[in-house]
Amino acid sequence: MTPMSSSPSVDLAARASVDGRWTPRLVLLLIALAWPTQLLAAGGILGANATAGVAQAFHTTQVVWFGLTLTLVSTLLTPFVIKLGDLYGKRRVMLAMTGLGALGEALAALAGSFWLVLAGRAIAGFYGPFGALSFAAVRDVFPPRLVKPASGIMGSSVGLVALVSPFLAGWLVDNWGYRGALWFLAAATAVAFLLVALLVPETPRHAFDSGFDWLGGLVIGGGLTAVVYAVGQGQSWGWSDARTLGWLAMGAVALVAFLFVERRSAHPILNLHVLRRRPVALALTAGGLAQTVAYTLPGLAILLALYPAIPGVSDGLGWTAHHNAVVSVSWNLVMFGTGLLVSRWLRRFDARRIWCAGLIVMAVGYTLVGFYHGDELQLIVTSCVANVGAGVVVAGAPALVVGVVSHDEQGLGSGMLNMLISLFGAILTAGAYAVLAANGTVVHGTAFYLDAGYSWVFWLGALVTLAALLLSLFIPPLHDPAEEDQQPEAALA
């Protein structure tokens, strides 16, 4: 049995009841994990709204680094975070991550130069891999019968974030500029630190060797970072540019080298034997592809909504940001509501069937969006269909991971899923902009896009979803955490 922690929040808490019923303490615990996890999504929306203000305030043409710096640091650190959470307990690592995140956003808000802003964003990037630990922590601290529902609720709460964040971002930026958005992120991350400190118990350690494969972490983290950077810059540099090809080549070489480094390491940072198992590889790849579509396509749809309507030049809808936020309330509520329902069904039905049904609906939905997106009514109806599927995806993906890895492998599985979402997201975004550019025109240095480009972006999302569905058909039956003999030692009543 795991010894008692020195943390009062662990030692003084009663143990969870074995019947798996929700209690007030478990509800608070779920909030404490969901708040910092979904703050990552809110941060992306607020950061996007603050970008124009940063560019104007510092008169820079390099404003792309405002968001890219955080993404690259987060990608680089993810493998280290996975291993550290298993070695020292996820709560300790979460506290360090949220503390650095709040510090970094505050530094960026106070910065008087653009390069100091980037330094703050780099420090804030330490908070980026939080999701790699939070979903794994659910399995450590919740009764087995509640692992799937709790994971589903935490995943589907992204719908609430997408519902509120555009209004919040507009209010903050309109009244206090980009610094208002950054100060909010600093304060919200500080709240996340307090929630974790007060409500989340320390989790059991799932790795007991004291060694740490720094070289392996740097190689895989650096390789993924190089690929994400190349894909992110490819649109502006050009896909045949020597810089794009060079960064892609360096990333590919690093990822291949990682396989050899890990084979020789006495303390590998990622257990390749787990990742080579067919059910794990299928679940992670399918989950990564599907969640990438669910998270990325709504952001790309904002281009359609906000770009102007100029006959023969631009086929955007010409909405204001506020009008887009009002219209998008409908499909974000659908995503959240569907996710809540699915989180209950995961206890009663085969998660694979629910997952595949969600993928079919999301593929059909984005196919319809590609055909019908010319006004508010069309976009609401078709996007609501797509987000019924997306709600299943964001709630069901954690259940896939839970069903193919053991308790001790949960951190690795959740962390790898997060890394794949980052990688696939960069590739899908780059592919979408390439499609738009092929169906657009440039006027006075500004790119505008025609309707065929927008249609193909949504159809691209449908095709990626179908690829995830094809992989999912080969996932074998999942095991249920409720059938495990061991109750999580850190669970709370």
344-356 burial, b at 16+ Cβ within 10 Å, e below that, comes to: ebbbeeebbebbb
In a domain, 445, yes or no: yes
Q: What pLDDT, on a 0 to 100 scale, did the predictor assign at position 206?
A: 66
CA-based end-to-end distance of the chain:
18
Which tokens belong to 21?
């019923």
Rounded to an integer, the average pLDDT of 146-153 is 86
Residues 160 and 39: their CA atoms lie apart, in Å, by 11
In a domain, 374, yes or no: yes
Q: If you ran DSSP here, which 8-state letter would residue 208 be given?
A: -
pLDDT at 233 over 80: no
Residues 361 and 132: their CA atoms lie apart, in Å, by 27
Q: What pLDDT, on a 0 to 100 scale, did the predictor assign at position 207?
A: 60
CB atoms near residue 321 (< 10 Å): 17
Which tokens belong to 223?
């390789």
* Cβ proximity of 324 and 162 under 8 Å: no
In a domain, 452, yes or no: yes
| 236 vs 188: which has the higher pLDDT | 188
Residues 176 and 194: their CA atoms lie apart, in Å, by 25
Closest by alpha carbon to 432, among 388, 462, 399, 395?
A: 462
Q: What pLDDT, on a 0 to 100 scale, did the predictor assign at position 11?
A: 35
pLDDT-derived band at 484, boundaries 50, 70, 90: low
Give the ranges where 200-320 is alpha helix by DSSP (H).
214-237, 242-264, 272-275, 278-306
Q: What pLDDT, on a 0 to 100 scale, did the predictor assign at position 426?
A: 78
Among 115-119, 175-179, 247-251, 318-322, the least confident range: 318-322
pTM, full prediction: 0.79
Q: What pLDDT, on a 0 to 100 scale, did the predictor assign at position 209?
A: 60
At 41-57, the pLDDT tens digits run: 888 888 877 877 888 88
In a domain, 66, yes or no: yes
Residues 313 and 434: their CA atoms lie apart, in Å, by 17
Strands 446-449 and 314-315: unpaired
Q: What pLDDT, on a 0 to 100 scale, did the predictor assign at position 193?
A: 96
| Residue % of the chain over a pLDDT of 90 | 33
At 176-194, the pLDDT tens digits run: 988 999 999 999 999 999 9
Amino acid type, 45: I
Q: What pLDDT, on a 0 to 100 scale, did the predictor assign at position 303?
A: 80
Rounded to an integer, the average pLDDT of 101-116 is 94
* Cβ proximity of 476 and 279 under 8 Å: yes
| 53 vs 289: which has the higher pLDDT | 289
DSSP H or E run through 443: strand 440-443
Amino acid type, 227: V
In a domain, 450, yes or no: yes
Instruction: Evaluate the CA torsion angle 29, 35, 38, 39 in order and state its sign.
Output: negative
Q: What pLDDT, on a 0 to 100 scale, did the predictor assign at position 89?
A: 86
At 154-183, the pLDDT tens digits run: 888 887 888 888 888 888 888 898 899 999
Residues 103 and 186: their CA atoms lie apart, in Å, by 7
At 368-387, the pLDDT tens digits run: 999 999 999 999 999 999 99
Residues 265 and 332: their CA atoms lie apart, in Å, by 45
Among 3-12, 186-195, 312-321, the least confident range: 3-12
Closest by alpha carbon to 366, among 473, 455, 292, 428?
A: 455
In a domain, 438, yes or no: yes
In a domain, 51, yes or no: yes
Residues 323 and 304: their CA atoms lie apart, in Å, by 13
DSSP 298-348: HHHHHHHHHS-EETTTEE-----HHHHHHHHHHHHHHHHHHHHHHHHHTTT
Rounded to an integer, the average pLDDT of 297-322 is 85
Tell me the average pLDDT of the chain. 84
pLDDT at 304 over 70: yes
Closest by alpha carbon to 44, among 221, 295, 226, 297?
A: 295
Please report, for the domain that includes residue 127, its CATH number.
1.20.1250.20
Domain region containing 144: 12-212+269-483
In a domain, 127, yes or no: yes
Please state the domain count of the chain.
Answer: 1
| 237 vs 134: which has the higher pLDDT | 134
| Angle subtended at Cα 445 by Cα 443 and Cα 446, rounded to the nearest 5 degrees | 65
Q: What pLDDT, on a 0 to 100 scale, did the predictor assign at position 491?
A: 40
Rounded to an integer, the average pLDDT of 87-112 is 93
DSSP H or E run through 396: helix 376-404
pLDDT-derived band at 20, boundaries 50, 70, 90: low
